Every structure is written in C-alpha cells, then in structure tokens.
Amino acid sequence: MIMAGGIGSRFWPLSRTSRPKQFLDIMGTGKSFLQQTYDRFLKIIPAENILIVSNLNYGTLIFEQLPDIPKENVLLEPMRRNTAPCVAYASYKIMSRNENARIVVAPSDHLIVNEDQFLEVVNTGLDFVGDYDALLTLGIKPSRPETGYGYIQINNEQIFEGKYRSFNKIKTFTEKPDLKLARVFIESGDFSWNSGIFFWSLKTIQAAFIKYLPEIDALFSEGLTQYGTESESYFILKAYPQCRNISIDYGIMEKADNVYVLISDFGWSDIGTWGSLYEHQNKDESGNSISGSNVYPYKLQNCIVKFPEEKIVILEGLRNYIVVESDNMLLVCRKQQEQNIKQFLNEVMLKKGDEFL
C-alpha cells in the first residue's frame, strides 16, 4: 500500500497542490518519487498486489506516471482525512480479495539509497507480521539531531531470537522535538527516527481498528460488499465526510501494546524539506547545491538554490539560505527557519487565496 495523497507544502514553491512532490523528479533521476517507489516494490511484490491510495484530484497524474497499474488498484479519496482512514480504506479493499494478506504501508515520496538492503528488510518485516500478532514500524538509525522527524524510543529488552533478534518493543513515540530535545535523544542512543513505513497482517490491523478507532472501522466495514464493484466510489464518497481526521500513528500505533520496531540503515530520508534535499545533493567547493545553468553565485556558502534554466540570477553574500523559484513564485528563507515555510504559505493564502498553494 503506497500512500500518495499529500501536498508537500514544505517543498513550496516547487511542490504545489496541483502537482505535489511525489509526482516530481526532485532528485533529477528521470523518475518521480511515486514512480521510484512503485518500481522499487515491483521487484518483490506482484503488480496486482500493489495499491496506491491518493486524492481524487491526482487520479490523472497517477495513471500518466504509472500507465500499467490496474485501475482497480488506485484508491482515490474524495477529501483528505489523514492516514488512519487511508489505511482503513485500503485494508477493507484488500480484505475483499485476500483475508490472509500481509501488508507493508509506505509513503510515496521517500528516498531509499540502498534499495536491495531495503527490500531485504521489507521481506523480513512481512515474515515477522506473518508469524506474530504485531504492528511493526521501521526505525531509522539517526545521523543528526533532526527536528523535522518523529522519534521512537525502544525497549532494549531482547524478546526474539534468530532472524527476529533485532526486533524491539516500542517504549514511546515523540513527534518532531525541538533541537535541544533532539540532541538528548541522539546522545541517549535509545531513539531512532520514525520512517512512517509500517507492516502488519490484515487481521492484526483490523483488530486494532476495532479496538482503538471503532467509529472508522464501522464506516468502512459497511461497504464490504461494495469494494471492487461499480458502487465502491459512491460508497467512499459518502463515507469520507463522516471520517475523523486522524493519523494511524496517533490513532493506533501510539496506543496499541503489540507495537514493535526494526532499526534499519538503508540510506533513508523522507526528503520532506529543502534542508533534507540539500543533504543528498552534490555541492560545490563552498557547500552550495545549485540547480539552474544561469545562476551566478558570489560569496555564497552552504545554500540550496533552484531556478528555471532560462532565468538569469545573481546571488551575493548569502550563507545557509534556501532560494527557490517556480512558476514565478520566489522563496528566500534561512535553512534553519524552513520548518516555518508552511506558516509563511498559510499567511500568503489568507491574503491572496489558495491559487498560490
């Protein structure tokens, strides 16, 4: 199950509501994040078993970028209600096909550098949730005190032997700490980044919905006879406005007592911000990542700069800045303030309307 409905507002102005970052080739690979994610899972999972859940507005984009995907495998939400309804919808869709399914849930816009290693982890995770009544998430070994990620604290007590000996129970979840707390987490050695990649069996996740989010489970269980039929889209259109807006993390993962983590290191980044993109870009001798053949930098240091090829740009004296133009919209922001980009954009929308989002 690939989640592809976000708007990527922290990547504004390149990422827009009409074409968010999962549909963009931000890394310059020739493929969008969605295409890379789909092709990655296609190596170990048959095409008929890969579902994409996205917003109704992005159906055309999905079929343009993935022309071979079965139409019935693209689940389109009529409105955004966060990840718990998204998972519930996909789970009941899967139930209509295979009650014994094991499921991996992954965002569509993450960078995976070591794909072979990642796919080995995926296979091990699917084996684990087939053998145990468990909700599993992948933790990422942290390399810096990042304030843009959620953190997982592990219980160091060893529970499993053999190939599952690296699996730990989760002690606590913490969302996006400030820099001081992030440093404490790193120094303790007990915390990992929360990748947002999950594993479970269909039976386990549905039991969790019944226990922790019964109102959402009740909504989607009503349509069990309609999934895979012509009336499915009409049922979903009626169900979503009744859905609570809640994440799978907050609604289930932080409440359940059968939640485990596998700490991994396969070159992961959610590329959720310009700063995280900067970490993975080639840089010049002054630490600048510059895209645009007509950019002229003078005394620039540690900046990320992205302009259209036809634009002539002269930049002088900036240090640790993000400077990006797209569709005649310009962002100039200190890297250390990039978490405020969503706030800046909200203020623009209040004054100018949502045409700039």
Structural Rg of the chain based on CA atoms: 21
Residue % of the chain over a pLDDT of 70: 100
What confidence tens digit (pLDDT) does each residue in 229-256 have? Answer: 999 999 999 999 999 999 999 999 999 9
Cα distances (Å, whole numbers) of residue 280 to 92, 119, 195, 276: 37, 21, 17, 7
Tens digit of each residue's pLDDT (9 = 90 or more) over 178-224: 889 999 999 998 999 999 999 999 999 999 999 999 999 999 999 98
Tell me the pLDDT of the chain averaged across its residues: 93
- Complete edge-to-edge strand list for the sheet that includes strand 321-326: 289-291, 304-306, 321-326, 329-334
Residues 256, 136 contacting (CB under 8 angstroms): no
**Residue 140's pLDDT band (cuts 50, 70, 90):** very high
Query: Mind listing the domains of the chain with CATH numbers?
Result: 2-272 (3.90.550.10), 275-356 (no CATH)
DSSP class of 81: -
Percent of the chain scored above 90 by pLDDT?
74
Note whether 108 and 181 are within 8 A (CB): no
In this predicted structure, the answer to whether residue 272 has a pLDDT above a threshold of 90 is no
More confident residue, 103 or 10: 103
pLDDT of residue 67: 96
Residue 301 is classified by DSSP as: B
The whole-angstrom separation of Cα 337 and Cα 354 is 22
CA 121, 272, 123 angle in degrees (round to 5)? 10
pTM over 0.85: yes
Residues in contact with 24: Cβ distance below 8 Å, sequence separation at least 6, in sequence order:
14, 15, 32, 33
CB 23 within 8 A of CB 11: no
Count Cβ atoms within 10 A of the Cβ of residue 287 and give its class: 0-12 exposed, 13-18 middle, 19 or more buried.
Answer: middle
